[in-house]
Chains A and B, each alone.
Chain A
Amino acid sequence: MTTSVPVTTRKDWSSDQEVRWCPGCGDFSILAALQMLLPELGVRRETTVFLSGIGCAARFPYYMNTYGLHSIHGRAPAIATGLATTRPDLDVWVVTGDGDALSIGGNHLIHALRRNVRLTILMFNNQIYGLTKGQYSPTSEVAKVTKSTPFGSLDTPFNPVSLALGAEASFVARTHDMDRAHMQEIFRRAHEHKGAAFVEIYQNCNVFNDGAFEKITGREARASMLIPLRHGEPIRFGAEGERGVIQRRDGRLEIVDVADVGEDALLVHDETRADPSVAFALSRLARGPYEPTPIGVFRAVERPEYGEEMRRQIIEAQEQRGMGDLAALLRSGSSWVVD
């Protein structure tokens, strides 16, 4: 494969299918961000695969002019595991939602992450079930009133970033649908990552959960409510960078006024910490999308990639035992001859 990657534009990556999300849905901006980014990534359409489960987000593959597989509810990470391990030449993207990834497919997600399968997982989190018309999801806030919870939901929600970190994910990030440049930066990083990359995208479902992230992602709110994580830099936010995050002696993180503690006291963000505890603590800074919330890359560490390791075992076996000999295989017990 020495031929250079052909120059493409967004149009080349868009399929001829009509996009069928509700007008105003956050999914459009995510689709656009990615279609615009792909020409810059030096990748080919024929070696790019979008794989999804079920849900609004899961329609994504139909809109990409690449190979695509729209599968069944929750199972995309499992199906993608078979594809990505056996085909290291492919770029496999998994597009999923909060219900798909964390409810019906929670098991597959955590195992794909712990195995570190080479997948770029984009989880659109809108904190609601869209396609089934508005039931609460595993990321909905407690007491959410929906058609299936007229008296308010009782379930404590998942924090997807915490969950991914707990599942030994080697790359965990968060972005949101209102900021194309940030999404593209995060998608680029996720795509570069060797192993499973998990990206939570706050996405507005304007039909069933409009404004769920408004308090933090709204144009006016962002500066004071989003805490950008930048590797190697002190963690601070606010229009003037006047607020910041410090780590207390007991390990807890706290949001403070920089003026009170001094710049040097701020926690310097390190994505590459082997120990995920600080990343986890960062993921717990906000109790929900109504408090200052970190976005960016929480964790990016190197860990053996699953498919590569499987391949290594196969190659080693072949080096040690030679390419499998079928005739010898059938005689691997003891054989006897009848003349």
Chain B
Amino acid sequence: MTTGTRRTTDQLDDVVVRFAGGSGDGMQLTGDRFTTSSALVGNDLSTFPDFPAEIRAPAGTLAGVSAFQVHISDHDILTPGDAPNVLVAMNPAALRANVGVLPKGGTILVNVDAFDERSLAKAGYEANPLTDGSLSSFTVYEVPMTSLTQEVCKEAGIKPRDAERSKNFFALGLVSWLFTRPVEPTLAWIQRRFADRPQVAEANTRAFRAGYHFGETAELFESNYEVRPAAFEKGEYVQVSGNQAIAWGLITAARLAGLPLFLGSYPITPASDILHELSRRKEFGVWTLQAEDEIAGVGAALGAAFGGALGVTTTSGPGLDLKAETIGLAVNLELPLVIIDVQRGGPSTGLPTKTEQADLLQALYGRHGEAPVPVLAPSTPSQCFDIAIKAARLAIKYRTPVIVLSDGYLANGAEPWRLPDLTTLEPIDPGFATEPNHRADDGTAVFWPYLRDEVTLARPWAPPGVPGLEHRIGGLEKADGSGDVSYDPANHDRMVRLRAEKIAGIVREVPPVVVDDEGEAVLLVIGWGSTFGAIATAVQRARARGLRVARAHLDHLNPLPANLGDVLRRYPKVLVPEINLGQLSRLLRAEYLVDVQSLCRVQGVPFRASEIESAIVAILGAAQ
């Protein structure tokens, strides 16, 4: 296929496209394919899948709208975009649910076939927005996607009802033309993906081609657009989502440690894809147990860790609640364990498919007794890989459970990732105990399971199987050193402090926080986790306005970087944007007696850079 000859192709620096339809319309697939072909063109990109919790939410209603937003650009970008430039609306509900975020002058592609009276009523439209002038500030293209798809499928003998399901491929074809995406990879992908359903493959191929040709031939569009490749660092790239990167990071960590990887997990949105990915990878010696419940998931992982495996459990908020007791046991047993919490909207079932950062305080403090654990948070989908490895490294080295706080946005969002050089990754030494480590009063060599390493304060890890190292451990308080059950008051006080000291000592593994400050900044914006892209973009924009803003981001929430107090005190003002009601703010105030300002929004969606930018402007406007 070639692009149309009559019209021009204009250059764009970047564009944000939002595909929206009913939850059965295949919008996630469509968005994902568009993303992949953009990655192959060499664009930088960032995605934001946004879908309802119901698998097939009532068709045609606002509640059932599923959307996929992708930001593609010829330069480095960090967010999926504040607002779309192009909205693809497969039905009236999709239009209604998304038109609000579309800026004036934006482009709307609608599947006009779906704008019948019933569908309009279902979406809550009293009048047809395509004719009542309410969309006059946008450029609207009305395309009969359903009927054109059915028509091209008819030639292949495909029934209209079956053909109807391929209309998303028509939309994909049209948008592919509009942004001059290559078609071959998508056509090849359709063949692969639907290899066992030739008729579906045929329908999708026809629909996709028809959409592309429609763009080319229908005299609707004045031009199409090109987004040139971004200037990436040399290297080999893949497109990766947070969940995928965590799974791969865990496999890599197990390999680096020479240990079997054992995942005990219970299905829960939005973490299940980690379970799925690991379950597919048995050739890496990965053991996956879909447990009877969240508690059994973490329990089995801890049991495997007792046996010398890298034990991991994956979950989301409600599951983290249930795992708390076992994590406390792991704190007491001082065994390595990695807990991945893909945060979602809470409390309770909350917003299963939406993102949030409100599990921070739970991760830090959500266990009875003094039960500190290291807490890490990736800031981008690809960084999930590094963070998973780091979590495993700390867990093994310090014999401790480690919690990783990902979130729904990172889990499903995708970005290009330059593949790391695996040979540069440092091996992880499990350092299993091999021999007795203590002399009893009578001179015999004995094994003391709670005799600590002088530097790390870690205890020996002695999986069963070694003669002479037989020992009993449990949730009861242990005597310092011997590990025998002890109710001695002074011993308990010592053990509580030792466990705390051990975790606090992990600060030696935490890189100092790096501040991005062009000099003379009077405001520091600091965040953690997935707000990274929005904060960085907002700071860039604020600087472009001439404001003096610095920025820092935390991957380690416990222990916090050693220099953090100094950094915070260096700035007259500190702003902390978070998708919760100020959990990091509370922590920073408590730890450093610095009066930070909170920027909180808990809507189940990532921050828009513009929201943070406005907050910066408001603060500096008042200050300067």
A interface vs B, CB < 8 Å? 15, 17, 44-51, 54, 61-62, 64-72, 75, 78-87, 89-90, 107-108, 110-111, 310, 313-314, 316-318, 320-324, 326-327, 329-331, 333-339
Contact check, A79 vs B303: say whether CB atoms are below 8 A apart: yes
Q: Which residues of B contact A47 (CB under 8 A)?
A: 464-465
Using A79-B300, A111-B292 as known contacts, say yes or no to A87 and B472 having CB atoms under 8 A apart: no
For the complex with contacts A81-B296, A108-B296, A317-B283, 10 further pairs of A-B residues with Cβ separation under 8 Å are: A45-B467, A70-B474, A75-B296, A79-B306, A82-B264, A86-B309, A87-B307, A314-B283, A324-B283, A326-B422
Q: Which residues of A contact B484 (CB under 8 A)?
A: 17
Q: Which residues of B contact A110 (CB under 8 A)?
A: 292
Contact check, A329 vs B284: say whether CB atoms are below 8 A apart: yes
What is the bound-complex CA distance between A324 and B300, given in angstroms? 24
Cβ-defined partner of B299 (8 Å) among A17, A79, A323? A79
Contact check, B283 vs A15: say whether CB atoms are below 8 A apart: no
Cβ-defined partner of A338 (8 Å) among B235, B333, B467? B235
Contact check, A90 vs B289: say whether CB atoms are below 8 A apart: no
Contact check, B473 vs A86: say whether CB atoms are below 8 A apart: no
Contact check, B248 vs A71: say whether CB atoms are below 8 A apart: no
Interface core residue of A111, A318, A320, A337 (most chain B CB under 10 Å)? A337
Interface core residue of A62, A83, A108 (most chain B CB under 10 Å)? A83
Using A72-B325, A108-B292 as known contacts, say yes or no to A82 and B307 having CB atoms under 8 A apart: yes
Rounded to whole Å, the gap between the CB of B225 and the closest CB of chain A is: 21
Chain A, residue nearest B188 (CB): A334
User: Of residues 255 to 276 in B, which have CB atoms within 8 Å of A's CB atoms?
Assistant: 255, 260, 262, 264
Cβ-defined partner of A81 (8 Å) among B293, B300, B475, B485? B300
Contact check, B235 vs A82: say whether CB atoms are below 8 A apart: no
Q: Which residues of B contact A54 (CB under 8 A)?
A: 475
Contact check, B237 vs A314: say whether CB atoms are below 8 A apart: no
Q: Which residues of A contact B233 (CB under 8 A)?
A: 338
What is the bound-complex CA distance between A116 and B39, given in angstroms? 47
Rounded to whole Å, the gap between the CB of A85 and the closest CB of chain B is: 7
Contact check, A72 vs B251: say whether CB atoms are below 8 A apart: no
Cβ-defined partner of A337 (8 Å) among B235, B239, B248? B235
What is the bound-complex CA distance between A193 and B133, given in angstroms? 77
Rounded to whole Å, the gap between the CB of B254 and the closest CB of chain A is: 10
Contact check, A336 vs B237: say whether CB atoms are below 8 A apart: yes
Q: Which residues of B contact A81 (CB under 8 A)?
A: 289, 291, 296, 299-300, 303
Q: Which residues of B contact A46 (CB under 8 A)?
A: 464-470
User: Could you pull out 23 A-B pairs where Cβ atoms are within 8 angstroms?
Assistant: A17-B485, A46-B464, A68-B472, A78-B264, A78-B292, A78-B303, A80-B303, A82-B262, A82-B302, A82-B305, A84-B303, A85-B300, A90-B465, A324-B255, A330-B238, A331-B419, A333-B36, A333-B238, A335-B236, A335-B238, A336-B39, A336-B42, A338-B235
User: A-B contact count, CB below 8 Å?
Assistant: 208
What is the bound-complex CA distance between A107 and B568, given in angstroms? 49
Contact check, A86 vs B292: say whether CB atoms are below 8 A apart: no
Contact check, A86 vs B240: say whether CB atoms are below 8 A apart: no
B interface vs A, CB < 8 Å? 36, 39-40, 42, 185, 229, 232-240, 248, 251-252, 255, 260, 262, 264, 281-287, 289, 291-293, 295-296, 299-309, 311, 325-326, 329, 333, 419-420, 422, 463-476, 484-485
Chain B, residue nearest A310 (CB): B287
Contact check, B238 vs A321: say whether CB atoms are below 8 A apart: no
Cβ-defined partner of A108 (8 Å) among B232, B299, B329, B468? B299
What is the bound-complex CA distance between A50 and B473, given in angstroms? 11
Contact check, A334 vs B40: say whether CB atoms are below 8 A apart: yes
Chain A, residue nearest B282 (CB): A317
Rounded to whole Å, the gap between the CB of B47 and the closest CB of chain A is: 13
Contact check, A78 vs B470: say whether CB atoms are below 8 A apart: no
Q: Which residues of A contact B468 (CB under 8 A)?
A: 46
What is the bound-complex CA distance between A322 and B281, given in angstroms? 11
Contact check, B464 vs A324: say whether CB atoms are below 8 A apart: no
Chain A, residue nearest B36 (CB): A334
Using A108-B299, A336-B40 as known contacts, say yes or no to A75 and B283 having CB atoms under 8 A apart: no
Q: Which residues of B contact A84 (CB under 8 A)?
A: 303
What is the bound-complex CA distance between A327 and B425, given in angstroms? 13
What is the bound-complex CA distance between A317 and B42, given in angstroms? 34
What is the bound-complex CA distance between A189 and B114, given in angstroms? 69
Rounded to whole Å, the gap between the CB of B463 and the closest CB of chain A is: 8
Contact check, B472 vs A67: say whether CB atoms are below 8 A apart: yes
Q: Which residues of A contact B295 (CB under 8 A)?
A: 75, 78, 108
Q: Which residues of B contact A314 (CB under 8 A)?
A: 282-283, 285-287
Contact check, B474 vs A107: say whether CB atoms are below 8 A apart: no
Cβ-defined partner of B422 (8 Å) among A78, A310, A327? A327
Contact check, A86 vs B475: say whether CB atoms are below 8 A apart: no
Rounded to whole Å, the gap between the CB of A304 and the closest CB of chain B is: 16
Contact check, A72 vs B282: say whether CB atoms are below 8 A apart: no
Cβ-defined partner of A61 (8 Å) among B281, B283, B303, B474? B474
Contact check, B308 vs A87: say whether CB atoms are below 8 A apart: yes
Chain A, residue nearest B473 (CB): A69
Q: Which residues of A contact B238 (CB under 8 A)?
A: 330-331, 333-336
Contact check, A89 vs B465: say whether CB atoms are below 8 A apart: yes
Cβ-defined partner of A82 (8 Å) among B255, B311, B466? B311
